[in-house]
Homo-oligomer: A and B are copies of this chain.
Amino acid sequence: MPDASPHVLRLDLSATDGGARTGVVTTARGTFRTPAFMPVGTRATVRTLTAEDLERLGAEVILGNTYHLMLKPGADLVADFGGIHGFADWKGHVLTDSGGYQIFSLEPKVTDDGATFKSTYDGSSHHLTPEGAVEVQQQLGGDIMMVLDVCPPLPSPISTVRAAVDRSALWAGRAKAANAPARAEGSTQAQFGIVQGGVDLALRTESAERTVEVDFDGYGIGGLSVGEPRHEMLPALAATTAVLPVDQPRYLMGVGDPVSIVESVALGVDMFDCVLPTRLARHGTILTSQGRLNLRNARFSRDPEPLEPGCTCPTCSRWSRAYLRHLLSVNEPTVARLTTLHNVHWLLGLMEQARQAIAAGTYDAFRRSVVEVWDEPST
């Protein structure tokens, strides 16, 4: 049952175009524009980058990870340094996930109380409850906290998906309650619930309704992009956003490929995160307006062009495909940062294009143009 406490996060929509929306989220930290892509800074850094790099790229929100940071270096240590913001000297927004996704990938022992799992660092045993996940995230000091949820892989038996919905709803209420004292004392950390339900439309609807009933500052959409094809993901997503409040942000968790982003924005999603642009970059796969470019391909060995002609990123401003390919082929670590700078710049640019298209009322044409390129075989 919704309580009377005001939300600490506000979404002001400036334009809609079909189901797509663009606007500005305001928190105690400041503002960020939506639709937003949030680079993933699992261990208090976006892999290969610094806070300075992210400022230069114009990133507005980055992720931090409860599972990893509670184990190393420990949430209390991060808290002593002013949370992720102080620790990494990052002045933009931080969203912390609850650790659920990582923990459930470790096949934990789960009861109604919480999940027991082994650390991937040293094999030690840990128990995380919905309340504990709140406490850790309070220490990490993110601007947006996620509740602990149960995230089954797909496909899973319907009984498993149903159990995840029930337990996630139970845990959502407990997470809200666990954060209530801090909120009563003036905490400005926003808290998002998470909708589960697999690709079962009725379960998605039910999970969304039960999560909204708890009343959060915004809503994560979890349990998608976990093995199912896109044609099953999008209807489940639509069933979810249909239930979520129009005036609060919707965050599709763990999704970052261009087609899924533009299709999901069309269904009313505001926020995305994914390791895709950074992971691809480290393997030499470059995001461009023409699709993926495999920098290891021998045909780039004497190519004087930048990764993407016309791109204004720090990498394309100075270095050729030939130089970057050389660095990649001799395993020079310099290149991983340069390709990451480009890929993150490119994906942030895609979001800017989406925002502009929504504002201009041309979103559907934009969406189709992205799908046309990215459903093609990669170059």
Interface residues of A (CB under 8 A from B): 43-52, 68, 72-73, 77, 80-81, 87-89, 121, 301-302, 304, 314, 318-320, 322-323, 325-327, 329-330, 332-334, 336-338
Contact = CB atoms under 8 A, between A and B. Distances in A.
Nearest to A69: B326
A73 B301 contact: yes
A27 to B, nearest CB: 23
12 contacts: A48-B334, A50-B338, A52-B318, A72-B329, A73-B301, A77-B326, A81-B304, A81-B322, A87-B323, A88-B323, A89-B319, A121-B330
B43 A330 contact: yes
A73 B43 contact: no
**For the complex formed by this chain, how many copies does it contain in all?**
2
B314 A52 contact: yes
A72 B301 CA distance: 11
Given A73-B322, A77-B302, A81-B323, 8 more contacts: A43-B326, A44-B327, A47-B334, A50-B337, A52-B314, A77-B326, A121-B330, A333-B336
Contacts of A51: 318
A258 B265 CA distance: 57
Contact of A44 (B44, B89, B323): B323
Contacts of A302: 77, 80
A326 B44 contact: yes
Given A81-B322, A329-B73, A334 B49 contact: yes
B327 A45 contact: yes
Contact of A330 (B68, B81, B326, B329): B68
Nearest to A326: B73
A323 B319 CA distance: 30
Nearest to A53: B334
Contacts of A336: 333
Contacts of A68: 330
A279 B129 CA distance: 43
Given A87-B323, A323-B88, A326-B43, A334 B304 contact: no
A275 B188 CA distance: 48
Contacts of A326: 43-44, 72-73, 77, 87
B77 A301 contact: yes
A45 to B, nearest CB: 5
A320 to B, nearest CB: 7
A332 B301 contact: no
B81 A334 contact: no
Contacts of A314: 52
Nearest to A44: B326
Nearest to A304: B81
A295 to B, nearest CB: 13
A53 to B, nearest CB: 9
A297 to B, nearest CB: 14
Given A330-B43, A333-B336, A337-B337, A322 B77 contact: yes
A71 to B, nearest CB: 9
Given A81-B304, A326-B72, A47 B318 contact: no
